[in-house]
Structure 1
Amino acid sequence: MTSSADFLDDFLAFCLAGKTPSARSGVAASGVRWTWQGEGVLLFEPGAQTATQSVLVSAGIHGDETAPIEMLSRLVADIASGAAPLAARMLVILGNIGAMRAGVRYIDDDLNRLFSGRHGHLPSSAEAPRAAELETLATRFFDGIAHGKWHIDMHTAIRASVFEQFALLPFTGAPLSRAMFDWLRDARLSAVLLHREKGSTFTHFTAERCGALACTLELGKVRPFGENDLARFAASDAALRRLIAGDAPAEHAALRVFTVVAQIDKKSDAFTLNVAGDVPNFTPFAAGAELARDGDYVYRVTHEEERIVFPNPKVKPGLRAGLMVVDTTDATLASLE
């Protein structure tokens, strides 16, 4: 057991230690109400005012992506002390705590591929119960809410990137939101990637099932706890703080937009990816380049230029080994609603 003050001062250390708060709810020094909803899950509600939006912020869906986890823990402390004003309902989630403790991406299966019910196909996976739990918590948080709904899911990439900090938006068939793009510019992200097919990520679940404006942020590279320079991500942190404070976006930086045109899947252990292990995300390839082969399956670039994102030949058979994207900046920005 621990006091609420200790609990809010270092949320990350508290969760890694497997502690339980002495009370399930309370009021922080800032006057914000908090409710412990389970391991790594904390609900904040503004004390004296009616919330105008609900914001889910998650990190640690992959256990080794530590910078966003540290950012979120620091934000929890600042909300509790009053250093970060809160005008929104806010659900804080640290996702795969078992993997965080082990310093690995996941224990059995990639948690960010188990949402929208896919966890039901892997009942023996260490990650399956957590995916089901997070679906329930997110649904409960957003259900019946008439005001704005947001989900910011923060990650880091395995490898370097031509665009160090970028976002991914899930596909639901709904028009793209100008409010989301304004927020991404405020976070000074360099690029955004648009999916064209439905997926099984956490943000796809909250966008489709809950109607949230949802995005996945990729902030730098994977590093161990304590080795992150969080100043590199100050713009995203500041934009998140403005969002939960109810403030308007402050920046309108340039933003490149890419759309997925193909997915390279690993079908078997015979799969080969003709991409060097240190090739950054968004590296361009010209038409005709052969990038992957797996038995009779061959992937060649068909557009004048395609860029590869998340190349990873080490994934399990049946999973994505890379995304191919093309630049759609002008057309996308002209279509925003």
Structure 2
Amino acid sequence: MTSSAESSMPALLDDFLAYTLAGSRPAPDDAQGVCANDVRWQWLDDGVLQLEPAAVSNPPEGASLTGVRSVLASAGVHGDETAPIELLSLLVRDIALGRAALTCRLLVILGNVEAMRGGCRYIDDDLNRLFSGRHAQVPHSQEAPRAAALENAALRFFADVAAGPRSRGTRWHVDMHTAIRASAFEQFALLPHTDAPLSRDMFEWLGEARIAAVLLHTTKGNTYSHFTAEACGAEACTLELGKVRPFGQNDLARFAGADHGLRRLLAGTHAAAQPSLPRVFTVIGQITKQSDAFELLVAADVPNFTPFEQGTLLARDGEYRYTVSHPEERIVFPNPTVKPGLRAGLLVVETTGETLAALA
């Protein structure tokens, strides 16, 4: 039986994904409102929705908002990575119905909406390589305006006075993806490289979300999580939650750990038991495709984090060679079909002990 709350709920909250895919846009008078538990919501742009509990959006006189957490939760930066998009849409509905608690500011972003509608990864260019201003280098790309819009959405959200000072732990960005191929660790995270120490809070949250492994970047990049970490001071991560599948064909129960972890982050609660921290791998090399003559010398279906021994030739492109130089290196994101000049694979080594021992 449909409850009165469900029957009166705006369509964009009831199924944010379907509303976005349909290209619907609310009339100005219908672009904001109040749902269960006095949570205030506001539609800001195609695939962009902000929600705030009443204590944040309308605080009592004299109340301080210093330290209030602001969380950006994004998915669909690659349009064919559907499982986390579906998770976010269900999360919006549950908050609107009062089934999921919200004690912080939340910005929900569905990233590459046009690619989502087309059932493809991207239209012209990989959106997750166009942040930190790189979109200006491809002005004619259909992804360039969206990259600029998503940068501005994050900057406005984290610059809001309600977010308080830029202290650690008050600004979070969880960017959810799915991998193209299988992985030795089905669900893993990537942390952007910044000058700040690694956060124990982040590692403990990843453990609560049942993330098995963490990949540490050692150089700055052009992903959305790199942008928010660098430009907004956010505790940012990219989550890889399984394999690419069409809408409606995902077993969302497989991602319950990440879903519950995000819901606990928004509710301000923690798992009942102390989580096991994930294993840690650090990037030590990159395979770059230099021309269309590029050859990646691994099986087409090799899983992420497959180990290779020292001396193994992994790629060649004219005079360019990539040979394993450490006793063991694992390959992540091998993809020979990228455009020349782009990354065709990352190489990592395990650094669990020293990384966890040094957490701040």
Q: 1:37 is matched with which residue?
A: 44
Structure 1: segments with no counterpart, 5+ residues = none
1-structure distance, mates of 2:261, 2:232: 23
Using the TM superposition, give the Cα deviation of residue 247 of structure 1 relative to its aligned residue in structure 2, in angstroms.
1.0
Partner amino acid for 1:138?
Answer: A
Alignment partner of 1:62 out of 68, 78, 83: 78
Does the 8 Å contact 1:193/1:258 carry over to 2? yes
Q: Name the residue aligned to 1:17.
A: 22
Q: SS in structure 1 opposite 2:146?
A: helix
Name the counterpart of 2:253.
231
Q: Select which of 87, 93, 104 maps to 1:71.
A: 87
Distance 1:134 1:48 in 2: 26
How many residues of Structure 1 are paired with residues of Structure 2 in the alignment? 335
Partner of 1:317: 340
Residue 5 of structure 1 deviates from its aligned partner by 1.9
Look up the match of 1:277: 300
- Secondary structure at 2:226 match in 1: helix
Q: Is the 8 A contact 1:69 1:94 kept in 2?
A: yes
Name the aligned partner's letter for residue 259 of structure 2: D
Output the amino acid matched with 1:39.
D
One-letter amino acid matched to 2:226: H
Gaps of 5+ in 2: 1-7, 60-64
Alpha-carbon offset, residue 254 of structure 1: 4.0
CA RMSD of aligned residues (A): 1.2
**Match for residue 94 of structure 1?**
110
* Aligned partner (choices 290, 304, 314) of residue 267 of structure 1: 290
Query: Could you say which residue in structure 1 is the equivalent of 2:200?
Result: 178
CA contact under 8 A between 1:263 and 1:323: conserved in structure 2?
Answer: yes
Amino acid at match of 2:85: I
Match of 2:35 among 28, 37, 46: 28
Report the TM-score when normalising by structure 1: 0.97
Q: Deviations over 1:158-179 (max 9, x none)?
A: 0000000000000012100000
Among 63, 67, 85, which residue is 2:101 paired with? 85
User: Aligned equivalents of 1:141 and 1:233: distance in 2?
Assistant: 27
TM alignment of 1:1-337, pairs within 5 A: 5-22=10-27, 23-48=30-55, 52-143=68-159, 144=161, 145=163, 146=165, 148-250=170-272, 251-337=274-360
For residues 77-136 of structure 1, what are the alpha-carbon distances to aligned partners after superposition, in whole Å with 9 as ceiling and x for unaligned?
001011000001000000001000100000000000000000000000000000000000
Instruction: Return the alpha-carbon distance in structure 1 between the equivalents of residues 9 and 126 of structure 2.
Output: 32
> What letter matches 2:118 in structure 1?
A
Residues 128-167 of structure 1: CA deviation (Å, up to 9, x unaligned): 0000000001001111532600000000000000000000
Q: Would the alpha carbon gap of residues 91 and 267 (structure 1) be closer, same or farther in structure 2, given more than 3 Å must change?
A: same
Q: Is the 8 A contact 1:243 1:249 kept in 2?
A: no
Q: Deviations over 1:181-205 (max 9, x none)?
A: 0100000111000000000000000
Mapped contact 2:37–2:53 kept (Cα < 8 A): no
The residue type paired with residue 89 of structure 2 is S
* Contact 2:138 2:144 (8 Å CA) reproduced: yes
Amino acid at match of 1:294: D
Which stretch shows the higher mean deviation, 97-106 or 15-24?
15-24
Match of 2:5 in 1: none
Alpha-carbon distance between aligned partners in 2 of 1:306 and 1:173, rounded to the nearest angstrom? 25
Instruction: Kindly state the Cα deviation for residue 30 of structure 1 after the two structures are TM-superposed.
Output: 3.2
- Secondary structure of the 1:58 match is strand
Q: Which moved more, 1:101-110 or 1:252-261?
A: 252-261
Percent identity, aligned pairs only, is 67
TM-score by length of 2: 0.91
In 1, are the aligned partners of 2:208 and 2:275 still within 8 Å (CA)?
A: yes
CA distance in 1 between counterparts of 2:106 and 2:281 reads: 30
Secondary structure (helix, strand or coil) at the match of 1:30 reads helix
Distance 2:10 2:138 in 1: 38
Question: Partner of 2:101: helix, strand, or coil?
Answer: coil
Q: 2 CA distance for matches of 1:252 and 1:231? A: 19
Contact 2:190 / 2:215 at 8 angstroms: preserved in 1?
Answer: yes
Find the residue that maps to 2:298 and give its secondary structure: coil
Distance, in Å, in 2 between the alignment partners of 1:36 and 1:261 is 42
Displacement of 1:248 in angstroms is 2.8
Shift of 1:249: 4.3
How many Å apart are 1:253 and its aligned residue? 2.1
